[in-house]
Amino acid sequence: MPTDGPSTLELAVSSVVFALRPHPETGELTLWLPLVRRIREPFEGRWALPGGPLDPQQDLVESARTTLHRTTGLTPRHLEQLYAFGDADRSPGAQDESPTRVVSIVYWALVRQDEDAEAVDGENVEWFPADDIAEEAGPLAFDHGVILAYALRRLRAKVIYSPIAHAFLPERFPLAQLRQVYEAILNRALDPSNFRRQILAQGTVEDTGERMTGTAHRPPKLYRSSPDRSRYTLTIQEN
């Protein structure tokens, strides 16, 4: 136990942003996320989650939104609180240089495929395939590696009992696309016919009556995700 600890306290808001893009090698749909290169100590040169100090005037979720827009150009609709990280001795590597205690409230964002087009790569912002972070980006700054691992675990757990996968898709979509989202997140193939039945049975999508045109073959029906009965979501309305 340290004899002397930090005496000042700072509150930061960071985000883990997930988008689905084809993998550079295999071509299969995979999870990507943007990281920001630190341009000062501590951890100068390392990659970190996008984030920043909390403006006392701003709601937590607003803070996440603005930082995200500033760094990536994105304004994801799906933004959800993940966890608050605040051990007194976080980011051990930085202890000497920064005696400041930082509590980070971490959000995760899911980017819709049609929103993803607005993504702009900033000077020190780069996107990485989520499962290749260690090789491609090296060890992350602070405890962000732990945070990322947790976010991935949560995403994969939550996708099977909650309709969050829909958050990756535009307004209207064929079921095959929804299935691809599930397959990308879970990293395994799903039987198309059984998938269809399960999704329709749980009532989280509804038929729009329209069909997709210009497909290579038989045109699939288009669905939209049903308004949430909030049977599943545990997101919080504070007021």
Partner DNA sequence: TCAAAAGTGTTGAACATACACCCATGA
Partner DNA sequence: TCATGGGTGTATGTTCAACACTTTTGA
Q: Residues in the site for its own copies, rule: CB under 8 A?
A: 5-9, 11, 54, 56-60, 81, 83-88, 90, 92, 101, 103, 105, 143, 146, 150, 153-154, 157, 161, 234, 236-239
Per rule CB under 7 A, is residue 158 in the interface with DNA? no
Q: How far is the CB of 179 from DNA (least distance, A)?
A: 8
Q: How far is the CB of 209 from DNA (least distance, A)?
A: 11
Q: Which is nearer to DNA, 29 or 140 (CB)?
A: 29
Q: Which is nearer to DNA, 2 or 209 (CB)?
A: 209
CA dist 24 and 91 (Å) reads 32
- The string over 129-165, giving b where at least 16 C-beta atoms fall within 10 Å of a residue's C-beta and e elsewhere, is bbeebeeebeebbbbbbebbebbbeebeebbeebbbb
What does 225 bind: its own copies, DNA, none (CB cut-off 5 to 8 Å by kind)?
Answer: none
Per rule CB under 7 A, is residue 201 in the interface with DNA? yes
Per rule CB under 7 A, is residue 10 in the interface with DNA? no
- The string over 16-53, giving b where at least 16 C-beta atoms fall within 10 Å of a residue's C-beta and e elsewhere, is bbbbbbeeeeeeebbbbbbbbbbeeeebeebbbbbbee
Helix, strand, or coil (residue 230): coil
Per rule CB under 7 A, is residue 161 in the interface with DNA? no
Per rule CB under 7 A, is residue 176 in the interface with DNA? yes
For residue 226, the Cα-to-chain-centroid distance in whole angstroms is 22
Pairing mode, strands 78-85 and 101-110: antiparallel
Q: How far is the CB of 12 from its own copies (least distance, A)?
A: 11
Using CB under 7 A, list all residues that contact DNA: 174-176, 191-194, 196-198, 201, 211, 213-221
